[in-house]
Chains A and B, each alone.
Chain A
Amino acid sequence: MSATLNPSAISRTRLWFGLFGGAIAWTAHFMASYAVAEFGCVSGLDARRYGGVSLVAWMEIALTAVAALLAATATVVAYGSQRRLAPSFSEDSMDAERYTARAGFLTSSIFTFVILFESIAILFYLRSC
């Protein structure tokens, strides 16, 4: 069982990162993936292959890995904050911060899933656009 902490023990940066880290990772991933697909496919980057996989696909895979890692980190951070802010603590401000951490855990975990779900398409376009 985690020890009960003072609200200030969880920094605001951790709370905000937990709440919006996944969403920001998704936004960055989505825009970058779209840009790479549009730019790479139009400019013919998909013709370059490494290990039988096009450069565009490699770039998309790398982007997905980085973004999923960032979103997963935000999920873990939010989960950690939620556990450290024990519910038995009755101060109003503590409820609010724990709530923020919990909402962050749910939001960031959903965005981790969305990043991976959207990237399934890459597997069908490994050789060309």
Chain B
Amino acid sequence: MSASPESNPSQAAFQKTWDEPTGFPGQLATVDNFVIGIRFLATSCTFFLVSGVFALLMRIQLARADNDFLGPETYNQLFTMHGTVMMYLFAVPFQEGLAALLLPWMLGGRDLAYPRLTAFSYWVFLFSGLIFFSGYLFDQVADIGWFAYTPLSAPAFAGKGIDFWVVGLGAAEVAGIAAGAELTISILRLRAPGMSLDKMPLYAWAWLAAALMIVFAFTTLFMATLLLELDHDVGTRFFNDQKGGNHLLWQHLFWFFGHPEVYIIFLPATGVVSMIVCTFSKRILGYTWIVVAILVTGFLSFGLWVHHMYTTGLPELSLYFFAGASLMIAIAAGVQIFAWIGSLWGQRPRLATPLLFVLGFVFIFVLGGLTGVMVAVVPFDWQVHDTYFLVAHFHYVLIGGAVFPMLAGVHYWLPKFSGRMPSERLGQWSFWLTFVGFNTSFFPMHILGLLGMPRRVYTYPASLGLEHLNLLATIGAFVLAAGFLLFVFNILYSARCGAEAPQNPWGGDTLEWTLPSPPGFSLYARLPAVSSRHPLWEQDEASPKTSPRVQQIIEALDHQPVGWRATLLVDVITGQPQAIVRLATPSYMPLVAALGVVLVTVATIAKLFLLIPVGMLISAAAFASWLWPDRKELERMRASKLPEETGLPIFTTGTQSLGWLGSLFLMIVLGWCVGTLLYVYFYLRLYSPEWPQGTLPLPEGSPAGLIFAVLLLAAGAGGGAWRALHRDRPKVMLVNLTIACLLQMLFLGLHLHHQTTIPFSPQANAYGSIFYLLGWGLDGIVLIGLGISGMALVRAWREAEHWKLFLALNVQMTAHFGHFTAAMAVIVYATLYWSPHWI
């Protein structure tokens, strides 16, 4: 199971294949998961420290009654930025960075599925953070809380700072969705041969659930922020109650993201805890139960959003469905806690710093979980809603449930990242400072809340008797900050000056500990084979329990291929090899695409709307360039002997192709966007006494029906191209692809013209707004489809010799995306033109 590329004759050529560009410009093109993972960690930690300073400023303000250290405006800005940065720019990106670093090593793949998407995700994340903070340069800082409730965040009340918040957040969501899709596919498909579902590390299981949750939750928030920005910039009326909109709609959309967000942060942290508990106790009890708990948590977390809205006057019956789900999810969390305690019980593990942080996590998270059960109960929540009890509860859940495991994880894997051991003495000191400081700061807030202290107030009168507990909380906050600073110092100091780390300093059981510390050439030149849940403890390297076929595949891929990057794609359940898949090489295009996104966001803030399409074009061109296959690489793949040596295909389509799986996720995300808009449509319909609202006419179906039918024909042409490819008829395929492209362009032209004939505008009322937006959404999907089929068409024109081999995936994606577009067209048409007549 050696990972080192040494002692192999083809080492130099193989290493050259995987070499990353050097120097400053080269660093901008790198797609190395190690480099990008470290960048994610460093950037998110920087945001964390800045946001922590904001928290300290707030605590200074609240230390005394009637304090004037901060004014109300500044205080509002600070709690907005603190919450926003912690939730969007630290908690999730930090976990994503750790996952980008660890998962390929832990799963035994050579990289994540889409290395360029990893790079794109990082650049967009970095720029979104800078956009958030750039509000300070213009004295336009958001002050509407991290939840941005309407109508406070609506055009009538919000200042310019909301633009920085909304577009910065929108960009951060794009980064998150990209990472979510990539991690899901990587975990399901890019594992070591033999690593079946029952042998997958619990960290990967936790991330599998979290990554899927990101895709759905972040997409919903992306759509919500899009609606809010349209209300601001285009004058739509989604959240304007006077014009048929509904301000509560924002809360529904936001919390449909917001509650799963807590578990998106929590689940990967539980994965870290499971790995550390397993290493230190030399066992993990209830593996299957933990997996089941993760899956149950992932689903149930989407059934909790209304428990943030108990006081908004929703029908009582619906409240209790959410209360039920909120209570049930505690059981899933409890199963994991018992499994960890059971694993440690009687094992006498060494109380090293990572385990100390894990034990601190268990203590704090159990308290946070208990108060979570309390606020799940509707009458109790009515009493403590918007009080400091809630502030205490969610800090116990988020810091206890996520930050403590993150600190444990950094301490645990630092030797692997840096090749140096962290200082145990500094680690223990940092733990106790953090633990004591945290509880001193946040436990009194439970009592403050029960005494009636409301959240989000910049001061309070002395007569309320809240001063002593607030002072205690402030002192605790400074102790906590000292603990964090000491931890950061320990990591930075030890990474440079710590004792040299052995390959597996903690005695871990998973594959990453087979790599040298630090990994240097950070991938498996010789792919590992897995036949146990704890490969380093239970597998005998001399006689691995792998089949001769798997051994043959591993031998063939040892320091191979050369000239193109590849790894194994395995069956989801059994982990048996199914194909050899190409991985992307370094490129500047992820950075260029991210800069296009930046241009869109900056143009939105500056109201330079003509620049928005320019930014979109830059991103689209960059995407097309990065997806365009390198002809030389394709030739090398075609000439490769690997298919004969391994019995595995190289040019694959469908579920055995990373390209197809990526397009599947694109369709899932776009479908979810349409689904969110349909929810908006019917929610607005439900609360409107008349539909269409006001004096607007009922939509006429016949002209629009003919236009929408064009997309059905385009889907037929795309399918025809795919069938022609199968039947070895290149000319028919070319004709079909041409027809598909022309029909999509025809639809766009006709639809845009049709919209000019509609007798109302998007600004008329909320009905007008959602009517237009659903149409624009479909136009957007058709544009993406046009990009996919256009790429297939151009390649088909140019490709003469090996057209079937090289074009199959592109043509299949054209066909499938065309069918998806047609399905969306039918749904949108039925909603806009049929449903008003019968609902």
Contact = CB atoms under 8 A, between A and B. Distances in A.
Interface of A: 7, 12, 15, 23, 26-27, 30, 33-34, 37-39, 41-43, 56, 60, 92-93, 95-97, 99-100, 102-103, 106-107, 110-111, 114, 117-122, 124-125, 129
Contact of A103 (B292, B314, B317): B292
B interface, over-half SS: helix
8 nearest A-B pairs in the assembled complex, by CB-CB distance: A96-B196, A121-B320, A118-B324, A99-B198, A41-B315, A37-B318, A93-B574, A37-B317
Given A37-B317, A56-B317, A120-B324, A106 B576 contact: no
B317 A41 contact: yes
B624 interface: no
A111 B288 contact: no
Contact of A92 (B299, B323, B574): B574
A18 B364 CA distance: 35
B354 to A, nearest CB: 28
Interface in B763-821: none
14 contacts: A23-B296, A27-B302, A37-B321, A43-B686, A92-B576, A93-B576, A96-B196, A96-B574, A106-B292, A107-B292, A110-B296, A117-B324, A118-B325, A121-B324
B838 to A, nearest CB: 15
Given A34-B321, A38-B686, A42-B686, A99 B196 contact: yes
Nearest to A41: B315
B317 A122 contact: yes
Contacts of B323: 121
Given A96-B196, A99-B196, A15 B321 contact: no
B379 to A, nearest CB: 13
B573 A100 contact: yes
B289 A106 contact: yes
B531 interface: yes
Nearest to B547: A92
B317 A93 contact: no
B316 A125 contact: yes
Sort chain B's interface into a size bin.
Answer: 35 or more
B292 A110 contact: yes
A103 B295 contact: yes
A57 to B, nearest CB: 8
A93 B324 CA distance: 38
A38 B314 contact: yes
A38 B315 contact: yes
B35 interface: no
B427 interface: no
B303 interface: yes
Contact of A114 (B328, B545, B576): B328
A129 B194 contact: no
A27 B291 CA distance: 19
Interface string B450-466: 00000000000000000
Contact of A37 (B199, B315, B545): B315
A96 B563 CA distance: 35
Interface in B650-686: 686
B296 to A, nearest CB: 6
Contacts of B295: 23, 103, 107
Contacts of B573: 12, 15, 93, 96-97, 100
A40 to B, nearest CB: 8
B296 A30 contact: no
Interface in B287-326: 288-289, 291-292, 295-296, 299-300, 302-303, 306, 314-318, 320-325
A96 B320 CA distance: 38
A114 B324 CA distance: 8
Nearest to B287: A99
B299 A42 contact: no
A14 to B, nearest CB: 12
A129 B314 CA distance: 10
A118 to B, nearest CB: 3
Contact of B574 (A37, A97, A111): A97
Given A43-B686, A103-B291, A107-B295, A92 B318 contact: no
Contacts of A117: 324, 327-328
B129 interface: no
Nearest to A97: B573
B321 A121 contact: yes
Contacts of A27: 299, 302-303
Contact of B315 (A110, A114, A122, A129): A129
B292 A92 contact: no
B591 to A, nearest CB: 38
A9 to B, nearest CB: 14
Interface in B38-67: none
Given A23-B295, A103-B288, A30 B303 contact: yes
Contacts of A103: 197, 288, 291-292, 295
Interface in B193-240: 194, 196-199
A42 B197 contact: no
Contacts of B302: 27
A96 B194 CA distance: 10
Given A103-B291, A107-B292, A129 B317 contact: yes
Contacts of B322: 34
Nearest to A125: B317
Given A37-B321, A43-B686, A99 B288 contact: yes
A10 B196 CA distance: 17
